[in-house]
Chains A and B, each alone.
Chain A
Amino acid sequence: MPLLEQSDVLQRFARGDADAFEDLFHLHQGAVYRWILRIVRNPATAEDLTVETFWRIHRAHARFNPSLSFEAWARRVATNAALDHLKSAKSLERLPDDLPQVPLPDPGISQEVRRKTAQAFGRLPPKLRVVALLTLIEEQSHSEIAEALGISTGAVKVRTFRALRLLRKSLKQQGIEP
């Protein structure tokens, strides 16, 4: 969508125009879904949370500043929706059964150790888990994660470090020496 046209859509959205909301939905649903999928790692949940994100966006349209990036705002709303979901869910959903294939698995690490690591990771506090997932697994930049969570890049680094420290402790308790 051309820049001028997009600016017009954003202004109409902020005023509560339903057609503008639909345009933005179609334009950004894929990006919002991909971002949420990185956090929850379950396609069905990511779809539900994408709808939840746009529901929150729709309700908050009057607070949106059309001169700012819609994508960044939507990503932050999506991150909060995903975090709320993780807080309410008991652990990372169906993780042990849904383990994706690692492109080049290290033969020195057994399937059992991988499973236990994934489970221990799923037990981390959601705030730490989200940051560690996005930083270490999805390899997103610190600034991108900081913007999505509304925290500083320093806080992203601290949470990543704390997540790794907790994970190490949890694995040690299970007899796994990383």
Chain B
Amino acid sequence: MTTHDHKRIHHLLTQSLAPTNTELKAELQRDLWPAMLRRFEQRSLAVPWFDWALAAAVLVCLALFPRAIPVLLYHL
């Protein structure tokens, strides 16, 4: 690809996609802090997958060995 080709495609590209600073919405229209706080709340409520897997494993063990229930309760 020659420099001439490079320039022609560059020109075609600039004719097809304008830089974002020429658009009206290039600036942030609102404060995103409330959205950030919502994100924190969502993440604090979310339970990691490992915890679910651990709980499932304990339930399976208790179903297979019911005599282990008092032992578990003792250790809790």
Task: List residues of chain A with CB under 8 Å of any chain B CB.
Answer: 22, 25-26, 29-30, 33-34, 37-38, 41, 43, 47, 50-51, 54-55, 95, 99-103, 105-106, 109, 113-115, 117-118, 121, 132-133, 136-139, 161, 164-165, 167-168, 171, 178
Contacts and interface: CB of A to CB of B under 8 A. Distances in A.
B16 interface: yes
Given A25-B33, A55-B39, A168-B5, A117 B28 contact: no
Contacts of B35: 47, 51
A38 B25 CA distance: 11
A167 B13 CA distance: 9
Contacts of A41: 17, 20
B39 A51 contact: yes
Given A167-B13, A178-B9, 19 more contacts: A25-B33, A34-B28, A37-B20, A37-B25, A38-B19, A43-B25, A50-B28, A100-B20, A103-B22, A117-B16, A121-B13, A137-B13, A137-B19, A138-B19, A164-B9, A164-B10, A168-B5, A168-B9, A178-B5
A132 B10 CA distance: 10
Contact of B17 (A25, A33, A137): A137
Given A26-B33, A103-B18, A117-B16, A34 B5 contact: no
Contacts of A55: 36, 39, 43
- Of B5, B20, B39, most buried by chain A (CB within 10 Å of CB) is B20
Interface of B: 1, 5-6, 8-23, 25-33, 35-36, 39, 43
Contacts of B25: 37, 43
Contacts of B11: 106
Given A54-B36, A164-B6, A29 B31 contact: yes
A113 B33 CA distance: 41
26 contacts: A22-B33, A26-B31, A29-B33, A34-B26, A43-B29, A47-B32, A51-B39, A55-B43, A95-B17, A100-B22, A102-B16, A102-B18, A103-B22, A106-B11, A114-B15, A117-B15, A132-B13, A136-B10, A137-B17, A137-B18, A138-B19, A138-B21, A139-B19, A161-B1, A167-B13, A178-B8
B13 A33 contact: no
